Structure 1
Amino acid sequence: MSRHPLLRRRAFVAAMGASLAAATLPGISRSVFAAETRAKEFRIGYQKAASTLVLLKSHGTLEKRLAPSGFAVKWMEFPAGPQLLEGLNVGAIDFGYVGEAPPVFAQAAGANFVYVAYEIPTPHAEGILVHQDSPIRTLADLKGKKIAFNKGSDVHWFLVSALRKGAVKYSEIQPVFLPPADARAAFERGAIDAWAIWDPFLEAAKRQPNARLLVDAASIVSHHQFFLGARPFVQQHSDVVAITMDEVNKEGAWVRGHYGEAAAQLAPIQGLDASVIEAGLRHYEHIYKPVDASVLAEQQRIADTFSELRIIPTKIATKDAAPPAKV
């Protein structure tokens, strides 16, 4: 695959600089400069459920694209978006993919990141499950009930919005903060009344005889997914970020044309049946666009609501995390 002339020029300059320095500085070998080049890492945080990134990692195309620039890709797995954003906040990763709520929590905690791109709305990819024989039939019936969800994740916003649609206050439910695996166990043993969750876990649970979908996010929230980058890295290495998003978009296009094949590749990684994964894949759009003012405005509504409910400790301005013009 050919590279942009600017990238070829930068790679040539970098290679010449290292070669000249190794040849002229006493006591410094070429191996030292090679090690320094290899030391450049692009650390990507991902979740096992984030299918496009998982496939990108598996296919290895990003590594090939970045090799000429001297960057090695390091993949770091996180159980969910909040933990991934915590990793970004402490400088453990440079880039990641999460739902709409984690960036709000991260920005409120002072994380120094920028929005890079977003996936167009995927409202069918998250939902609220109840037991098959549950008396809960409407959103209003959730009042007073124990509802499990991953705190700070995208379903946190979805649940708040769903409750409002059902005229139920957030203070009128019993939130049970659990990651997906623990929430599923609690749901199966009847320790909770409802469970807010995303795909592919949602699709897997829906197929169990004791589960019934109360509602998905359609007509409630957009359910955006975001690519985020540590501000210093994005500012210093916008070319790396641009190449990454180019490969992400190619991967997304491949998934849209190969749902069955993609699911088969993901099955052993995600530990779910391929038919479950394929159904979940079809709930996502796999189309990514640059973040714009309208999307940031939606993020601002989440931030304002969470601030009013004291879910986050302070008010924030999501436009402060707008991407640089070149990204």
Structure 2
Amino acid sequence: MTASFSRPVSRRGVLRAGGAAAVIAFGAISVKARAQARPVLKAGDQKGGLRALLEAAGGLEGLGYDIQWSEFPAAAPLAEALNAAAVDSGPIGDAPLIFALAAGTRVKAIGANRSDSYGTAVLVRPDSPLKTAADLKGKSIATNRGSIGHYVTLKAITAAGLKPEEVNIRFLAPADAKLALTQGSVDAWATWEPYTALAEVSRHARVLVSGRGLLPGLSYLAATDAAIAAKRPVLQDFLQRVVKAQLWSYRNVDAYSAALARIIGIPPEAAKLQFERRQQRWIPIDAQVIADQQGTADFYRQVGLIRQPLDVKGTFDTGFGVAG
């Protein structure tokens, strides 16, 4: 029988081993703590929006924070997410922002852009007998409540001398509204890009009335008051990346259109059509932007969609730069 002996371990050796393990464990905890401390931006988006632009332009490289993306089919659910603090920021049109603010959402516009409003339009089937906005009297129009589609509908019919109650507006999400138009259960669909370009390219619809000349063409990057207070440097960096990506996109139209089509899953010709005609540009939040937004608020008050007058000046944060 062979005896087995182990070498005694000194108390000092145990302490050394324990100390080394503690150092390793502390180092691992420190690395984990640093990783956990990395800021997170909860970014809302709409189809064909900021994520596709930033990815195509390489604008997400070298981030000092993480982005948690949430995509929404329209502005209304995005506004609800902002109100619930489910997202920190997101792109939103001038009209949906009015609805969000009137509902008490604690949010501000931190960046503004203008674009050609042609793609915000009232669409009809190719064989529809309707020719002008005045022909919408007594007809049914599908759109999202509080959306820019809702806005262009009201602007189009009032410009044609009609009252809101003289048309039948049905509130449907974009996919449901498109189906309703195609199947003939509504007479028209009021929508925005890229849905307008998709409908035109697929020949499922034609533009009855465009927003050109009716709308100021404003959209915003909005952020919650809480996010502005806690993540201002992150929001400033994110906005600046969006502005730079937009400039890149117009220098690389074909490359961006192809990337946009791939990222959001639409035909390349639709992607290029909606992109080229929008001619979107980021601009400073100046007196004209505020005046135009006030005009939108006043119009919604005039047609009874908001009950109380809304002074929009306090709904902008002008401390964010948009230099290209």
User: What TM-score bracket applies, with the shorter chain setting the length?
Assistant: 0.7 to 0.9
Name the stretch that deviates more: 230-239 or 92-101: 230-239
Q: Return the match for 2:110 from 103, 113, 116.
A: 116
Deviation digits for residues 21-44 of structure 1 (CA, Å, limit 9, x no counterpart): xx9xx9994135224313x21111
Shift in Å, 1:162 = 0.8
Asked if 1:291 is matched to 2:285, the reply is yes
Output the CA distance in 2 between the equivalents of 1:35 and 1:210: 49
Q: Name the CA distance, whole Å, in 2 between partners of 1:199 and 1:107.
A: 23
- The 1-side partners of 2:302 and 2:288 are apart by 21
**Alpha carbons 1:148, 1:183 under 8 Å: kept:** yes
**Which letter does structure 1 place at the counterpart of 2:195?**
F
The counterpart of 1:213, out of the listed 174, 199, 207, is 207
Q: Which residue of 2 aligns with 1:272?
A: 266
Q: Is the 8 A contact 1:57 1:75 kept in 2?
A: no
Q: How many residues align?
A: 298
Unaligned runs of 5+ in 2: 1-22
Q: Distance in 2 between matches of 1:264 and 1:121?
A: 21
Distance 1:326 1:184 in 2: 37
Q: Distance in 2 between matches of 1:245 and 1:117?
A: 7
SS in 1 for 2:60: helix
2:221 corresponds to which residue?
227
CA distance in 2 between counterparts of 1:30 and 1:60 reads 31
Structure 1 partner of 2:70: 76
Aligned to 1:189: 183
Shift of 1:188: 0.7
Query: Which consecutive unaligned segments of at least 5 residues does structure 1 have?
Result: 1-22
Tell me by how many angstroms 1:82 deviates.
Answer: 1.1
Alpha-carbon distance in structure 1 between the residues aligned to 2:220 and 2:249? 18
For 2:211 and 2:281, locate their aligned partners in 1 and report how far apart those are by CA, in whole Å: 18
Q: What pairs up with 1:30-45 in 2 under 5 angstroms?
A: 30-38=30-38, 40-45=39-44
1:150 aligns with 2:144: yes
* 1:184 positional shift: 1.0
4+ residue runs of structure 1 moved beyond 4 angstroms?
57-60
**What percent of counterpart residues are identical?**
31
Q: Are the equivalent residues in 2 in contact too, given 1:121–1:224 (CA < 8 A)?
A: yes
When residues 318 and 264 of structure 1 are mapped into structure 2, their CA distance, relative to the original with a 3 A threshold, is: same
In structure 2, distance between residues paired with 1:325 and 1:257:
28
Inter-partner Cα distance in structure 2 for 1:238 and 1:27: 30
CA distance in 2, matches of 1:325, 1:134: 48
The 1:190–1:241 alpha-carbon spacing in structure 2 relative to 1, beyond 3 Å, is: same
Aligned residue among 137, 141, 144 for 2:135: 141
State the alpha-carbon separation in 2 of the partners of residues 194 and 27 from structure 1: 63
Distance in 1, Cα, partners of 2:209 & 2:196: 11
Checking the alignment, whether the CA contact within 8 Å between 1:63 and 1:72 is kept in structure 2 is no
Q: Map 1:154-193 onto structure 2 (within 5 A).
A: 154-193=148-187
Is 1:200 the counterpart of 2:194? The answer is yes
What does residue 10 of structure 2 align with?
none
TM-score (norm 1): 0.84
**Cα contact 1:48–1:270 (8 A) shared by 2:** yes
What SS class does the counterpart of residue 262 from structure 1 fall into?
A: helix
Alpha-carbon distance in 1 for matches of 2:204, 2:43: 37
AA matched with 1:43: K
SS across alignment from 2:263: helix
Shift of 1:319: 1.0
